[in-house]
Amino acid sequence: MYALVDSNNFYVSCERIFNPTLRHAPIVVLSNNDGCVISRSNEAKKLGIPMGAPAFEFKNKFSELGIHVFSSNYALYGDMSNRVYRILQNYTPNVEIYSIDECFLHFNNFSAQPLDQYCKKIRQEILQKTLLPTCIGIASTKALAKAANHIAKKFPQLQGVYLIDTDEKRIKALQWLNIEDVWGIGRRMSKKLKSKGVHKAIQFTKLPDEYVRKQFSVVGLRLKKELEGISVLELEEVQSKKHIATTRSFDTTYTNKEYLAERITTFAVTCAAKLRKQKATCQLVTVFVQTNRFNEAHEQYSRSINVSIPYPTNSDIEIAKYAKKGLDLLFKAGLHYKKAGVIVGGIALENEKQFNLFEDEPFKHRKIMQTIDKLNTKYGTQKLKLASQALDKTWKMRQEHLSPNYTTKWSDILEVR
């Protein structure tokens, strides 16, 4: 049996933990650079604030309706997520972190007590130790556990836990679940299914296997089997990423190439550090730049370019060098740039990399990177930088409504008097 543990309105709930006066207040949390709404309290939802609402358009409405606005505090959210994960590990060794606010649990040969009662204990301990409200859905497959979780959220009388353990419950759940709310069915797929008269999850399971496979590939067929109660999706082990990206929208627009070059270098260095953390290398760097598409008064420009590296590397120096070459080819003078990013691909594990007979990453880079990582870990990130980075500046996102880092910064810890 699988269980999906999902924290309710996770970012909002994290903000409420250390500020009890917000417990029943309408709250929204904004994306990077305070761009748009990415989390809403139930109170804010009732006031008509949509997901993805642009902050600049809704600024006056937030004020008029008394809605509390917060910038994304990823240090706080990440730490609270880790606390939940550590609690879950005490209940089963089989835990998959699906996202920052969701985890799948696998109960294999579990017969100590009814699973719904067991999961109520899990939910209670998470609430007691973190103050985070959660809902738990339990079923024989991951897709059905997602559906059960959806039901647990919608019906308060279930006390946050719902178990699908009979075929009757499975059919009833799928008759209730809208096709667009099925885990793994995106907007395009749901639109196509609705055009064929499929509006509920149960109707999807009635489609012929051959049709599903032809129209939606083997992925769609696996999902159909999961909804039928046949488990085909196991817990995923932590795997190396196929691509690593570092992208940012700027606080304002910039025309200066030197500024963009510094940003691209910093993004490349961040990607390189992530590669070393997962003991991997890359052989491809993609660089992109973009103007502000919302400002029609300025010329629009959005381009990307792939730059190959002749040998596998995870060196800050090498990846930044090739990323800078990409920027040189992309940059057009006189434009107002709002966003840029670096994506590394061709990723392979360090011990599996293919050497080049004529070219290879300088051996000294590996020693330098090890030293940089060691010192930055000991004294804090960004203590050691490349000369092409801004040595006198710590670049930050726009976070005008940022809450304190209550759990990760000594100066922000609450004082009880």
Instruction: Report whether 271 contacts 344 (CB < 8 A).
Output: yes
Question: Ramachandran region of residue 380, left (φ > 0), alpha (ψ -120 to 50) or beta?
Answer: left
**∠ CA(79), CA(17), CA(83), 5° rounding?**
30
Q: Tell me, yes or no, if the two domains 166-238 and 244-379 fold the same way.
A: no
Please report the pLDDT score of residue 353 as a whole number.
57
Q: Which residues contact 304 (CB under 8 A, 6 or more apart)?
A: 286, 287, 288, 289, 330
Place of tokens 């917000």: 22
Asked if 179 and 193 touch (Cβ cutoff 8 Å), the reply is yes
Flag residues of the chain having pLDDT under 50: 237-239
Do the Cβ atoms of 26 and 66 come closer than 8 Å? yes
Integer Cα distance of 121 and 381 in angstroms: 39
Q: How many residues does the chain have?
A: 417
Judged by DSSP in three states, 63 sits in helix
- Give the domain ranges of the chain: 1-165+407-417, 166-238, 244-379
Q: What angle do CA 240, 244, 245 make, to 5 degrees?
A: 160
Between CA 366 and CA 345 the distance in angstroms is: 19
Q: What is the pLDDT of residue 405?
A: 87
Specify the residue for token string 């009635």. Answer: 206
The pLDDT score that the predictor gives to residue 237 is 45
CA 43 centroid distance within chain: 24
Q: What is the pLDDT of residue 356?
A: 57
Distance of CA 242 to the CA centre of its chain: 15
Return the pLDDT at 324: 95
| Entry pTM | 0.70
CA 296 to the chain's CA centroid: 31
CATH fold, domain 244-379, is Dna Ligase; domain 1 (3.30.1490)
Rounded CA-CA distance 116/397 in Å is 43
- Give ∠ CA 160-166-171 in degrees, rounded to 5: 85
pLDDT of residue 238: 42
* Backbone φ/ψ region at 32: left (φ over 0), alpha (ψ -120 to 50), beta: beta
Q: How far apart are CA 12 and CA 26, in angstroms?
A: 9
- The CATH number of 166-238, from 3.40.50.2000, 2.60.40.10, 1.10.150.20, 3.50.50.60, is 1.10.150.20
The CATH number given to 1-165+407-417 is 3.30.70.270
CA-nearest of 245, 250, 269, 244 to 388 is: 269
Give the tokens for residue 272: 């390189």
